[in-house]
């Protein structure tokens, strides 16, 4: 691990509730239903850490880089100003992008030594690229947004085994990882409703985001830390608000 000391979320008030931050090298799942600001929070954590000298890499598989940049700008994070600190690997066009990436990588390498497609297919191409970017940019942190989109692109057939191998690879990278995951009963989770959520066991920490209706009218955002290995932390829900560039928490009022 390149940097020591806890990785802060910079969500005001929240770090104190989780023992000061996340142990470096942890794999944290940021899960919640659509629109709960999972991507915003993941990018916000990278952004604020980058400003303090911990660089990150953001892999976007759902939203394209431009739309991600617009969303982050609207939250007071000018992506372009820090492009070098947080490169974005845009795989939002999935296989098409990976194929293009592979063509480029092949033309850079010695043709004779380069097999047409890495052994583990498109996921392999993506992994090679991520390793290359982490080395080139000396990244300490990584966001994968989202796990469900990755599963589709990488064609996870034996989910349990493929997921286990993927987490093994993430640990080998030796960076602090955030994986965005859709936890609602959308089509994909419905399709795999018979299966357990192995990612919850494989992850070291889980942040859960949700929307809560208060008094039948107002909808508030909530966050809680479901688990964090080797840390004493609160598991309560807190209200999550965003104001003037900052996320902050307040005690949830019933």
d(CA 232, CA 230): 7
Could you count the other beta carbons within 10 Å of the beta carbon of residue 233?
Answer: 16
Which residue lies nearer to ligand ATP by CB, 74 or 80?
74
Task: Give, as ranges, the residues between 44 and 83 that touch ligand ATP (CB under 6 A).
Answer: 62, 71, 74-75
Q: Which string of b and e fits 39-71 if b means at least 16 CB within 10 Å?
A: bbbbbbbbbbbbeeebbbbbbbbbbbbeebbeb
Task: Give, as ranges, the residues between 31 and 60 that touch Mg ion (CB under 5 A).
Answer: 39
Q: Is 235 in the site for ligand ATP (CB under 6 A)?
A: no
- Span near ligand ATP by CB under 6 A; candidates 19-27, 38-46, 91-99, 159-167: 38-46
Which residue lies nearer to ligand ATP by CB, 134 or 151?
151
Q: Is 12 in the site for ligand ATP (CB under 6 A)?
A: no
Which residue lies nearer to ligand ATP by CB, 232 or 243?
243
Q: Is 37 in the site for ligand ATP (CB under 6 A)?
A: yes
- Span near ligand ATP by CB under 6 A; candidates 7-15, 27-35, 188-196, 246-254: 27-35
Nearest-10 crossing angle of helices 94-108, 121-137 = 60
The residues binding ligand ATP (CB under 6 A) are 32, 34-40, 62, 71, 74-75, 242
């Amino acid at each position: 691990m390149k940097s020591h000391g806890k990785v802060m979320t910079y969500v005001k008030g929240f770090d104190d509730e989780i023992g000061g931050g996340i142990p470096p090298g942890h794999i944290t799942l940021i899960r919640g239903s659509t629109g709960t600001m999972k991507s915003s929070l993941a990018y916000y954590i990278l952004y604020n850490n980058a400003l303090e000298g911990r660089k990150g890499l953001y892999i976007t598989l759902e939203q394209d880089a431009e739309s991600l940049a617009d969303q982050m700008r609207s939250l007071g994070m000018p992506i372009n100003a820090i492009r070098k600190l947080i490169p974005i690997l845009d795989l939002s066009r999935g296989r098409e992008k990976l194929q293009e990436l592979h063509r480029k990588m092949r033309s850079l390498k010695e043709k004779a030594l380069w097999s047409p497609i890495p052994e583990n297919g498109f996921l392999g191409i993506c992994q090679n690229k991520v390793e290359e970017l982490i080395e080139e940019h000396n990244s300490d942190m990584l966001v994968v947004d989202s796990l469900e989109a990755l599963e589709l692109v990488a064609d996870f057939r034996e989910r349990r085994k493929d997921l286990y191998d993927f987490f093994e690879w993430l640990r080998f990278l030796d960076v602090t990882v955030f994986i965005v995951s859709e936890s609602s009963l959308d089509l994909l989770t419905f399709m795999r409703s018979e299966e357990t959520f192995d990612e919850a066991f494989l992850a070291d920490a889980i942040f859960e985001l949700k929307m809560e209706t208060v008094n039948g009218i107002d909808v508030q955002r909530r966050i809680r830390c479901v688990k964090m290995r080797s840390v004493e932390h609160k598991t309560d829900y807190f209200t999550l608000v965003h104001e003037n560039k900052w996320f902050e928490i307040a005690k949830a009022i019933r």
